[in-house]
Chains A and B, each alone.
Chain A
């Protein structure tokens, strides 16, 4: 009884402040999509709009083809899991889980059976009579999860569900959440500011910024082929080098960066290269070599840090400070002259950023 969620052209305001701008998002049946971004990016607003706690200025929200946009929150039948658990402090664990069933007129033995089965699934059957105050953070979040799942909602939404847990538990719980979500096949929206969490748990991730979705794609694509400079920085591309094409020769393109350094790039790696672009790579995608005869970006090495798999250098170049990695076999000293050679497989081409 899972359903697809379709958000179309949603704009939302808090007072006169626009918090979401023309946002559209389609989530397939059974899919888990994360909304990822810093606070204030609009991810929680999106969730609250779908839950019915906020009303959009314009746009529509449909669940399984049914328009939810103006439906009161208590009629939407959406399972919600909150950051601070939001358990009912005056009700036992079993009554917390049974609350949604009670609202649906399910009582007595039927309710007890379903609550029991749900508590069994989250491994809390032995705590059914406890009050929430007597539970640990992880147990509380399991109760919250059970409470949301037991009503068998067509849509589950998570609002930073693991932020209040410690690191180890966070990893365990996200695996648990994903397994339960998979087993039930429930369409899910997962709001988080934690990139690792979003990437590990989701089918697709929407990276949000200033009330817009900057890119919506699988974690693999986001990580390797960010669509724009914002997403590139977000997923850890330390080096974004603006460049201009100065010559094209068949499959080879020569481009120049600030400081007059020219690089030759092969179209076989990058596809089309526009006249003005950004060459983006992580420190791993920029190899440090002391062979200054190679084609690359001339650099003076600064601070060297040990990463375990490589040495990382702060490099002064004509195009500014770049981060590059060098082999463990040849540690280089501060002040040494070196070349930074882009590794084409680990670089990507982005459109230049709009002038701010």
Chain B
């Protein structure tokens, strides 16, 4: 038996495919252009705009800053988010319903508002260092993703498994690490990837916090674009994509991407 596909369905699928892949093709093409301005299709092939990234010290610095902030804020969000998600699911019946909403508030509030209030109440109020303010801002930004994703994988976790381990003599804290965490591993990794990517791409919170000396990559891209309209920004975007793909590939290798479907 063969499935007959409607021509309209095929056309629609192809359209969606182009919609998803098209922008990426254009960016990659532009990045390879030999011209001094952004253009597609590329005229002449060259890697010189990739070289250019590393010749501009601001790009070198901001790539490192962005990576540091992404790792740190993701780490902090996991540190807060995993126990929070655990408590929200484990004690769902005892806890008031609004508590879980509290943890997704940062997503509901416009990011610009979040950025501005962190600037006013943390960065300015306590004259916190820029780097610290950025880490705090990004931790807040990614925390909801951590709580949501880990909650989703805890929703299918049967807490009597935890009780079984305790009844067999494993203390509660040890049980958390030896029994619970291995069973939500996929959720933790998914949360990590989501947080990391969200942080590294963030503009609206970073734009308030960045100042003299310290900036993040997306802000630097913006700043560069204001002055130059050369393919460097496209090259940086390709690098960012490559980084994301690399992270996914590592995960694919170690766990298999199927975990994302869980």
Contacts and interface: CB of A to CB of B under 8 A. Distances in A.
Nearest to B159: A86
A15 B171 CA distance: 25
A314 interface: no
Please tell me the size bucket of the interface on B. 10 to 19
Given A84-B158, A89-B183, A104 B169 contact: yes
A80 B169 contact: no
Nearest to B185: A90
Nearest to B179: A88
A53 B169 contact: no
Given A84-B160, A89-B161, A51 B168 contact: no
B183 A79 contact: no
Contacts, number: 66
A106 to B, nearest CB: 11
Contacts of B163: 51, 53, 73, 80, 82, 86
What does DSSP make chain A's interface, helix, strand, loop or mixed?
A: loop
Interface string B155-171: 00010110111111111
B165 A88 contact: yes
B171 A74 contact: yes
A213 to B, nearest CB: 24
B172 interface: yes
Interface in A61-108: 72-80, 82-84, 86-90, 99-100, 103-104
Contacts of A99: 165, 168, 170
B41 interface: no
A240 interface: no
Given A88-B179, A90-B183, A77 B169 contact: yes
Contact of A73 (B94, B161, B167, B179): B167
Contact of B168 (A83, A89, A151): A151
Contacts of B94: 15
A147 interface: yes
Contact of B161 (A51, A75, A79, A87): A87
A43 B120 CA distance: 56
B182 interface: yes
Interface in B126-165: 158, 160-161, 163-165
A147 B161 contact: no
Contacts of B182: 90
Contacts of A52: 166-167
A75 B170 CA distance: 8
A86 B158 contact: yes
Given A86-B161, A151-B168, 6 more contacts: A84-B160, A88-B164, A100-B169, A103-B170, A147-B164, A148-B167
19 contacts: A52-B166, A73-B167, A74-B167, A74-B169, A74-B171, A74-B175, A79-B167, A80-B163, A83-B160, A86-B163, A87-B161, A90-B182, A90-B183, A99-B170, A103-B170, A104-B169, A144-B164, A147-B168, A148-B168
Interface of A: 15, 51-53, 72-80, 82-84, 86-90, 99-100, 103-104, 144, 147-148, 151
Interface of B: 94, 158, 160-161, 163-172, 175, 179, 182-183
